[in-house]
Every structure is written in structure tokens, then in C-alpha cells.
Amino acid sequence: MRRFGAWVVALALLLPVGTAAAKGELSVAVELQPGPRSAQLGPRFQPISSSVSLKAGGGAPGGGSDHRGGTLPFGPAGSAPRRFVVARTKAGEAYDQLVIDLNGDGSLDDETPLPARMQSSGQTIWSTWNFVVKVDHGAKGKPQIEDHPFRAYIAVSSKTARPDSFNYTSQGFRFGRVTIVEKLYDIVLTDRNNDARYGPGDAWTIQSASAGGRPEMGEAHDVKDIASAGSRRWQLVLRGTGGRHAVVAEPGAAIGAAPAAAPPASGAHAEDRALPRSESPLAFVDTVEAARAAAAKIAGAWFLSFESDGNADSRSMREIVYTAKAATDGAGGLSCARIDADASKDLVAAHNVKKVPTGILFDPEGKEVARFEGYLSVENFGLFLGAVNPWLEPADVEPDIRGKNRSRHRGVVKKRIAYLEDNKHQGLLVDRVKDLGLQKNRAARDALMKFATGRKSKEYVTAAFFALAKIGGKTAIEFLCSSRALNSKDFLVAQQAAHALGAAMDARGVDALLGVLGKRGTKIEVLSASCLALARSAPQDERVIKAVFEHSKHAKDTVRAGAAEALGYLKSAEGLERLKVMLTSDANTRVRAAAALGIGHTMHAELIPVLRKAIADDKAHTVRTSALAAIRELQGEKQDTVRR
């Protein structure tokens, strides 16, 4: 199971507060943590850049010439503006140095000059910087220093030109999790105002917890506005401007005067109840024969759960353990049967069941390998499933398989390939390939890699690639990057592998994708798909940003279109500007349509007027249709952005 980084906060349980409980109105305190600003886990949302005017003068450490500067309104109300200066390190060259008051002491003398990352786009020269300002959000005498990451840029038309404005964008976000009526939700908060403080005007969202560990921004709401989740309406009440402490509450709920840590879990099996719930709990059939037959089709393991409706531990296993995300992630491909112990005395005797609940695990050959009695915690249930490695081993875990286990594993893989190939109906075979992708275990992964290798049907290969992307893990990504996939001599295979890598959104594929972009002779279809895959996999990687920008100026329309859509996934203010230019001025209809789709991927609802203008002004039906789709995406309607 994928694990969140250390920055993910402990789960908080919802409890009624004060008199609000009687009315069914709920509130919960939530501790928010800074998200990793340069990692894949960042939400695909960033605010539109703010800007300040630049004025001549104002020297700074580091020398340089032609200084221009200004101040930035960072921090809580009443904070002193932060002074900054940009300069040329060489006369006659573009501006490439920034000195800024990062620590807030009012002086530039103790700051180190920051070099710019230089880029050009057409006639425009961009100078870009990343920096982190420290801001005190505490009360007088009680400092609370928080880091606020920013990206800034200036743009000029020539090396000798002087910039008129300094543009800057917040790169940070806050993230927390709450449990509402036994369902886990993500809370994401971003500094949309670009002022290094959190409050009205900034954006927040509440939505079902992301299964893959990536907090998504979803539908953005102003902090002062109401959001909906779990058939209820919620408001976010911030405690202070640092974005660390908040209360999520139904309108009208008693909130209390001070932030409080979430109460500890209570009641039977409280720790397990607090764990994330799965969107797809373990599925049970009601007979041993059905479970055994389902397992035989894929040479998989199977599990019997003997239960009684009148037994509290049986109910807890059903409601808590078998619905936990950790349990379902570890049980991919497991065939399960629930047996009513009261009505099945013959099976109880045959399997020597002494009490309920009892769980019995069988390997693919039908041999009992493990059993438990009574309530089994979620963690221990995961260890229990490990008794039939490698068939239930997560695909990203690679224990050494030796001796009999190696032979058995190969046999299981062979049977799963046979399971795929014994049905010649194209649609059903593709469905079986997809089913293996949902199992997310090592045996399914190895079967899919063998199935995809050298197969003539591009539809089957594509389905296998996307199933491998869903399984994920180091070995699957390496396969998708190999000569059997992304680096295949068959450009159609390579193109679909690139699209699958985009669906996987795994940064481990970045080096191979960049290599394809830089390789001479790469087909334009592969270049286009690789741009999209890179932007989806590592939207903050400087190498990716540079490569996508370069290909947005490619002479071939197909490549330019792929890069245009890819720009929408990048965490780049320059990318937004480039998209607007491409939407309005590119000569190719397909490129303009892709730029519209790219704007939809940015999650910047503020750009809807730009898209509406394109619908009104552009004569091409394709562009107007794409702009409409982008508007729907920005308004929260999910779009299928993955190529197949």
C-alpha cells in the first residue's frame, strides 16, 4: 500500500460539539500541515500570479547593474512589506539576479543573491526564481514562524529591455484529513491571494480522501464560502493566518473559542475505525464453491470468513476490517466467501471452526495456509494475508522468490496468462486484462508484462499497459519505459506506453520520457504523448517544465498540441501565460483546441472568461468544443484526460 509522507497529519474523528449535537450539526478541529512544494503529491492547483511595479534604483548585495526594485505585501495585516531588487550581473545581458528580504528583518544586506533560471519563448525572455519567505504569524511575544514558498518571474522583449513588473505566485499549500461519519475526507488550503497568509480570498476544498496519496484541489471555494461533502454543507474556520489550525463545521454548529486537537478515538477497535475507508470493500460470495471457482480462473488464493449476525466481533470484522483501505489494498485478486456459521453446520465441522469469527486462507492449490479466530486488527489482517506470498504481495514489494516458491509463482503467472487467452472475444479479453490491473499484486503484474510483450493486437497491448500503470510500482514503470514499451521500434506501441506512463503519474518514468524527447528520430506522436506524460508525472520538475516549453514551440502541429495540453498540468505561472497566447494566436486549429484543454487542466476557474471569449471569437468548431469542455472541467465536472 502506498504510504503518505511524514507531512500527512494524524486522522481526526468528528464529534458533536456543545449544543450543536442535538441538532445534528457537527464540527471538528483539524491540524493542517504544509504539503511538499516540489513533490508529486502537491494538488494540481496554483493561484494566478500577482504583480508589483518595478522602479529604478535601490542597490543590493551581489553587485550587478541597472537595479530595479519594489516591495511585496507578505504576512499578516500590519506586517512590514518585503523589499526586493532585481539586477543584471553583466551589463547588456538580461536580468538574472534577485535579492529579497526573506527573513523579514527589513534589510537586504544579510541576504544571498538568487540566480535566475533563464528561458526564452518567441521574442520573450523569462527570468524565473524560486524562494521561501519566513513569516511570523504568532501573537506578540509568541512567534510562529512559517515557511511560504513562491515562484516569481519577469519577462522582457530583449536582453537590453528593462522589466516593468515583478510577477509572483504562491507554491505552497496546507493539507489535513478528517473523518466524517466514518468516511475520510481531505482538506486542502492554498494561498490564492499570494500574500503569505491564509484567510478570506484564499481557496479551500473538502472531498473524499484521495486513494493514491495525492491531495487534489477539486472544486476550489473561497475560504469565506460554504463547500459540500458527504451530503452536508461545510465551512472552514481558520485559527490565525498561518494556515495550521482550523475547524471544519456545518453552518450553525458551535465552534468554540480556541483550536483543539482532535479527540482520541474511543470505543471498541477505535484505532481501526479511524483508518481510511476503501471505496471498494472486500467483495464476498456466499458459497465455498463460488470462491474456489473464482480463484481457480486466475490461479489465485481464496479466503473463507465464518461469521454470525448475532456476534459483535463478526459485525466488527465486516464493518471495520473488511472495509479498511489497508485491507483491500493488500487483498488484490483474493476470492472471498462469507459463510453463515449458524446455517452451515456441515461446513463448520468440515473446517473445524470452534468460534466466530474465524477466517481461513487457502493458497491457489487449495491448501490451508493460515487462520485466525476472533477479531483481527487491520494491521494483523495484512500480515495474515502475507501467508500466501507472492500471490497477494503488493506489486511494489519484491521479496526474493526461491526454490519451490519460484516454480509456483511462475506457474501462477502462466495460469493467469492462460486465463486471459482462453477467451477470444476481443471485448471480454480486454475486460479480463483490466481485471488483472485492479488486483495490484505481483503475480498479476508479471502476467500482464508477459502478455503485453510481442503481442500483435495494439488494443490488447494498450489495455495491458494501462493495467500495469494502475498496478504501479518500480518494476511496472521500468517495463513501461523499456524497449518493449516506450522505447519500442513500433511507434504505436511507444505512443501508448507514454500515455500509460501519464496515467501512472509516477516520477520514476521521467528520465526515460525525457530521453525519448531528446532522441533523434522519435515520431511526433510519441513526442506529443511524452510531453503529456511528463507534465502529469512531475509537474514541478524544472527539467520537465523546460522540455514542455521547448516543445510548445515545435514546428510540428502534433507535437505543439501535445505540449500545449501538457502546459495545463505544470505548476508554472509562465505556463498559464503561454497557454493564453497559444489559444488566441496559434495558426493551427488542433493546437488552439489543445491549449483550451490545457487551460481546463489548470484548475484555475478565473480563466473561464478567456475560454468563453474563445467560444465567441474562434471560428473553428474543434476549438469551441474544447473550450466548452475546459469550462466544464474548471467547474468541477471530471473529464477523461487519459488517452487510450
pLDDT of residue 472: 87
Tell me the three cell numbers of residue 482.
523499456
User: Cα 91 vs. chain centroid, distance in angstroms?
Assistant: 44
pLDDT of residue 266: 45
How far, in Å, CA of 610 to CA of 351, rounded? 68
Pairing type for strands 65-72 and 55-56 reads antiparallel
How far, in Å, CA of 290 to CA of 415, rounded? 19
Question: Considering just the CA atoms, what is the radius of gyration of the chain in Å?
Answer: 28
pLDDT of residue 211: 47
How far, in Å, CA of 151 to CA of 149, rounded? 7
Report phi then psi at 184, rounded to 5. -90, 135
HEC sequence for 121-186: ECCEEEEEEEEEEEEECCECCECCEEEEEEEEEEEECCCCCCCCEEEEEECCEEEEEEEECCEEEE
Please state at what angle helix 608-617 crosses helix 589-601, rounded to 10 degrees.
160
Can you tell me whether residue 100 is helix, strand or coil? strand
Can you tell me whether residue 526 is helix, strand or coil? helix
CB 370 within 8 A of CB 335: no
Residue type, 606: E
How far, in Å, CA of 149 to CA of 136, rounded? 14
pLDDT of residue 2: 34
* DSSP state letters, 224-240: TS-EEETTEEEEEEEES
How far, in Å, CA of 640 to CA of 633, rounded? 10
First to last CA, the chain: 26
pLDDT of residue 4: 35
User: Which positions ≥6 away from 153 have C-beta within 8 Å?
Assistant: 49, 126, 127, 128, 129, 167, 168, 573, 574
What letter does residue 464 receive in the DSSP assignment? H
pLDDT of residue 294: 85
Q: Among candidates 448, 437, 455, 366, which has minimal Cα distance to 413?
A: 448
CB 108 within 8 A of CB 122: no
How far, in Å, CA of 153 to CA of 18, rounded? 49
Give the CA distances from residue 285 to residues 302, 303, 431, 442, 573, in Å, rounded to whole numbers and listed in that order.
11, 10, 20, 24, 52
CB 594 within 8 A of CB 626: yes
CB 564 within 8 A of CB 552: yes
Q: How many CB atoms lie within 10 A of CB 637?
A: 11
Residue type, 389: N
Q: Is the pTM of this model over 0.75?
A: no
Q: Among candidates 326, 480, 477, 474, which has minimal Cα distance to 396?
A: 474
User: Which positions ≥6 away from 69 have C-beta within 8 Å?
Assistant: 54, 55, 57, 58, 60, 83, 84, 85, 86
Give the CA distances from residue 167 to residues 81, 157, 413, 572, in Å, rounded to whole numbers and listed in that order.
16, 16, 55, 12
User: Which positions ≥6 away from 553 have C-beta within 8 Å?
Assistant: 121, 122, 560
Give the CA distances from residue 506 to residues 124, 173, 534, in Å, rounded to whole numbers and listed in that order.
32, 21, 9
- Alpha-helix residue ranges (DSSP H) falling in 391-537: 403-421, 426-439, 442-452, 458-471, 474-480, 491-504, 510-518, 524-537
HEC sequence for 19-78: CHHHHCCEEEEEECEECCCCCCCCCCCCCCCEEEECEECCCCCCCCEEEEEEEECCCCCC
User: Cα 157 vs. chain centroid, distance in angstroms?
Assistant: 36
Mean pLDDT, consecutive 10-residue segments, the chain of 644 residues? Answer: 34 29 61 64 55 84 86 91 93 92 90 88 82 89 88 90 91 80 80 90 81 56 82 86 88 52 52 80 90 82 92 91 83 86 94 94 86 87 70 60 73 81 74 78 87 89 93 91 95 96 93 94 96 93 92 96 95 86 95 95 88 94 94 71 47
